[in-house]
Structure 1
Amino acid sequence: MIFHIPWIYVPVRNVLAIWHQLTKYEIPELKKPSVIMRDRGRVEEIIRNMHGAGPGALQVISDFDMTLTRFAFNGKRCPTSHNILDNSSLISEDCKAKLANFPKSHYYPIEIDSSLSVEDKVPHMVEWWTQAHDLLVQQRIKKDQLAKAVRESDAMLRDGYEVFFGSLKDHSIPLLIFSAGLGDILEEVIEHNGVFHPNVRVFSNYMEFDKNGLLCSFKGQLIHTFNKREGALLNPDQFEQLQDRPNILLLGDSMGDLTMADGVQNVQNILRIGYLNDKVEERRDAYVGSYDIVLEKDETLDIPNAILRYITEGK
């Protein structure tokens, strides 16, 4: 009977409407134990802004290896795009030994050493990638064998990848992948899983094949862990086409991935999600201080999928 009185009914109705909106768009996945947020309020504000602008204002910029792909499965490390080729039958045993030894003993510890500056790390990364690519070129790899190497590998996209790629396609949201890996291989991985949709663009290290289909060199500027920003700036035309998409969801697994969106103009909202896969205790503080959301030992795309569902819901 009381709700028939207008001066009581209207405020109550407004309160109920607000409560409905808050509960309708809650993201329970953000309460997962693997999720760490430096500033939850700021994260929620960014996500609300993205929802308000809708999927038409959004683009996703992501790393590939150990970000869109799993870091491990059943306690075993999964291969990166380089590892897929390094461990395949296309590579001689001597070459495999060389590729396996120098990264583990020297370069990888430098890459993840939080006490070193990026400037100090870059020369080592260039040396690492250049040596690896030179060894691959010596193997005279056949282009038509790359798909077979991927099929026979243990590479796995993260759980929930069908929903992730499918949602981006269904809402026409561009997915820009910046990778220091092997572009030819990672494209095969995406294709093999049936999710290489028209909205996907890849910027990576691509192989050059001669007239006989044999690997003879690598194309363009070398892309390593810490120069993806330069890779972005080398593709201004791509970003100019996305100027009407000022909201960015950025996914990475290294400190170098934080600059992948630096080529984008007029950014309004950017949410950085970082996968902390390895050496969690010693790297946690650096990741939490740099990424908006940190996912510890999380082999899924549950959080990106939940955020995408929130942004696109009702749109």
Structure 2
Amino acid sequence: KVEKIIHNIRSAGPGKLQVISDFDMTLTRFAYNGNRCPTTHSKILFNILIYIYIKKNKIGHYYPIEIDDTRSVEEKTPLMVEWWTKAHNLLVEQQIGKDQLAEAVRESNAMLREGYQGFFDLLKHHSIPLLIFSAGVGDILEEVIRHNGVFHPNVRVFSNYMEYNEKGVLCAFKEPLIHTFNKKESALLNPDMFGQLQDRPNILLLGDSLGDLTMADGIQNAQNILRIGYLNDKVEERRSAYVDSYDIVLEKDETLEVPNAILNYITEGK
């Protein structure tokens, strides 16, 4: 099946391809040298209020629910909304200044996956749209990409964005709230942009959760979708669900080696 999808995408050429990807723990590393890397929510928190976040936001309570494959999406969704709302409200309470974001990213150990330069540059070279759907914080996400020098014109981001007051201080988060299991709503809320991509019916989808599988649902007339899933955590107990859902499953792989190889083959025949 995988070989057939790749062959079909290659035959159609890069002009018919778009890439849809999650960000945290998909384009960024899950861990480095045995230590967990921060997400776009915790990139700020690592430097400003990590202690408060852990104590008040109960990260140890919600994360196991998010990755529990025995629970239905319907059961998880209200709990995810609760988690994200608490996290956003906590950040607003800290009166974070916009100028602190770049510094927080520079001082954090946030890392894109090995091979990111080739990934972003290849997509730019062939004018292949990269649509990033993230339940994290869009302001931080963009800063990470910009800090690494790969925020090219073909990159579009759909995420949770901060709203600032006249003093440049965080005062709210813009609607709609995007969490792990409603990313396809971003597609439905941006029909004009997605309408421009209808002539690109072939999709390479990258994610690290089962919720990421719906990210391409807003694309009408999709013909070939290759779904690559990063299985970063609790591998043994989650493997079966991932193998049943993704076309390719990468276990504890902190690189973009496989997506890059596929993209090189599709665009250059190598």
CA distance in structure 2 between the aligned counterparts of 1:299 and 1:81, rounded to whole angstroms: 17
Mapped partners of 1:140, 1:185: distance in 2: 16
2:201 match: 246
Could you tell me whether the CA contact under 8 Å between 2:17 and 2:201 is conserved in 1? yes
Q: Which residue pairs with 2:125 in the alignment?
A: 170
Q: Is the 8 A contact 2:202 2:223 kept in 1?
A: yes
Deviation string, structure 1 residues 151-181 (Cα, Å, up to 9, x no partner): 0000000000000000000000000000000
Residues 1:308 and 2:259 are matched in the alignment: no
Where does structure 1 differ by over 6 angstroms across 4 or more consecutive aligned residues?
Answer: none
Contact conserved, 1:86 with 1:96, CA < 8 A, in 2?
no
1:75-224 equivalences under 5 Å are: 75-89=34-48, 91=49, 93-95=51-53, 97-99=55-57, 102-104=58-60, 106-224=61-179
Question: Does the CA-based 8 Å contact 2:161-2:173 persist in structure 1?
Answer: yes
Structure 1 residue aligned with 2:33, among 41, 65, 74?
Answer: 74
1:65 aligned to 9, 13, 24, which one? Answer: 24
Measured against aligned partners, the alpha-carbon deviations of 1:219-255 in whole angstroms (never above 9, x if no partner) come to: 1110000000112211111110101100000000000
Looking at CA atoms only, which structure, 1 or 2, has the larger radius of gyration? 1
Tell whether the 8 Å contact from 2:42 to 2:50 is kept in structure 1 after alignment: no
Q: How far did residue 98 of structure 1 move?
A: 2.1
What is the CA deviation profile of residues 269-309 of structure 1, one whole-angstrom value per residue up to 9, with x for unaligned ones?
00000000000000000000000000000000000000000
- 1:22-44 alpha-carbon deviations (Å, 9 max, x no partner): xxxxxxxxxxxxxxxxxxxx000
Aligned length: 270
- Following superposition, the deviation at residue 94 of structure 1 comes to 3.6
Please report how far the alpha carbon of residue 95 of structure 1 lies from its aligned counterpart in structure 2 after TM superposition.
4.7
| Contact 1:140 1:214 survives alignment (8 Å) | yes
Check whether the contact 1:92–1:139 (CA below 8 A) recurs between aligned residues: no
In the TM superposition, what is the alpha-carbon distance from 1:97 to its structure 2 partner? 3.3
The whole-number CA distance in structure 2 between the counterparts of 1:53 and 1:94 is: 51
Equivalent residue letter for 1:138: E
Unpaired runs of 5+ residues, structure 1, are 1-41
Task: Measure the CA separation in 2 of the matches of 1:175 and 1:87.
Answer: 28
The answer as to 2:248 corresponding to 1:290 is no
TM-score by length of 2: 0.98
Q: SS at the partner of 2:245? A: coil
Instruction: Give the unaligned 5+ runs of structure 2.
Output: none
Contact preservation (8 Å) 2:184, 2:217: yes
Asked whether the equivalents of residues 110 and 144 of structure 2 are also in contact (C-alpha less than 8 Å), the reply is: yes
